[in-house]
Amino acid sequence: MPILKHAHPYLSDHDFACFAHRGGGLEGPENARSTFANAVKLGYRFIETDVQATSDGVIMVFHDDALDPLTDGEGIIAELPHSEVCQANIAGSEPLMTLEEALIEFPDTRFNIDIKTDQALAPTLELVRRMNCLDRVCLASFSDDRLARIRSEMGSEACIGAGPRDVTALKFASWGIPFMRSSAHCAQVPLVEYGITIVTRRFVRYCERRGVAVHVWTIDDPDEMRRLIRLGVHGLMSDRPSVLKQVAIEEGVW
């Protein structure tokens, strides 16, 4: 596998990254403390996660806008104070973590953080600045506007994932079609989007030449994992971290 050259510390010291998607949502409750701990016990260095902000600006590790049906609580996180949100339990048994707790409790883990709402953006940036942990986080979003704000406020200090506009730019450029330039550090992409196959050898090689890592989500089938590793992608995100680990070992990229 070609070695990807990138200056940002999040990407600079490995050829392939195995991500436990939401900690490993098919092997434990998604985004729960115990699920993160299991991924770390398996040897994972990378965890993909999501963040939401409470009404008083506390950043919670959680994917959905609403507490139900994944917890025993009710209501929209953005409309509730932290004092109420922290009483909800994932799968009825585990309190939600704050992002700060996750960063403290798993100090050797690198996090891919999907910022789910505009409300969560500013307090997330304030938190990672205060904790001085930009070397071990990648900030991602499906919102081009949020990513533009991250670039404006954080500059080259932050590792930034590709948004829809960036992925379009990279895909068109891989076809040799002039388009806007992407400034993303990594392209975290599905296999197919709007009927177009994103992850091809040509796309991966183009991104590689640009120093952009290609991380593919969410891959749970072992045969697909093998195919993509052999294609040359730089990382996979899976809800089945034990399966991905075994395949990565067999393929020599763990």
Report the alpha-carbon distance of residue 234 to residue 56 in Å, rounded.
38
Is 26:239 a contact under the CB 8 Å cutoff? yes
How far from 134 is each of 11, 39, 127, 137, CA to CA, in Å?
12, 21, 10, 5
Question: Which CATH architecture describes the domain 17-248?
Answer: Alpha-Beta Barrel (3.20)
The predicted model gives 40-65 an average pLDDT of 98
8-34 pLDDT, tens digit each = 899 988 999 999 999 999 999 999 999
Phi, psi of 236 (to 5 degrees): -130, 145
**H/E element, 6:** none
195-219 pLDDT, tens digit each = 999 999 999 999 999 999 999 999 9
Three-state DSSP class for residue 41: helix
115-142 pLDDT, tens digit each = 999 999 999 999 999 999 999 999 999 9
Centre a 10 Å sphere on the Cβ of residue 69 and count the other Cβ atoms it contains.
8
Is 155:183 a contact under the CB 8 Å cutoff? no
**H/E element, 210:** none
The predicted model gives 221-241 an average pLDDT of 98
Q: Which is the catalytic residue, given 6, 21, 82, 185?
A: 21
Look at residue 178 in the predicted model and tell me its pLDDT.
79
Write down the domain spans for the chain. 17-248
Task: Report the DSSP pairing between strands 213-216 and 235-238.
Answer: parallel
Q: Which of 45-54, 179-188, 230-239 has the lowest mean pLDDT?
A: 179-188
Is 6 an annotated catalytic residue?
A: no
The predicted model gives 69-83 an average pLDDT of 97
Look at residue 180 in the predicted model and tell me its pLDDT.
74
Averaged pLDDT of the chain: 95
Look at residue 176 in the predicted model and tell me its pLDDT.
93
Report the alpha-carbon distance of residue 120 to residue 58 in Å, rounded.
8
Is 21 an annotated catalytic residue?
A: yes
Q: What angle do CA 54, 55, 56 make, to 5 degrees?
A: 90
The pLDDT > 70 percentage for the chain reads 97
Q: Which is the catalytic residue, given 6, 8, 14, 63?
A: 63
136-181 pLDDT, tens digit each = 999 999 999 999 999 999 988 999 999 999 999 999 999 999 777 7
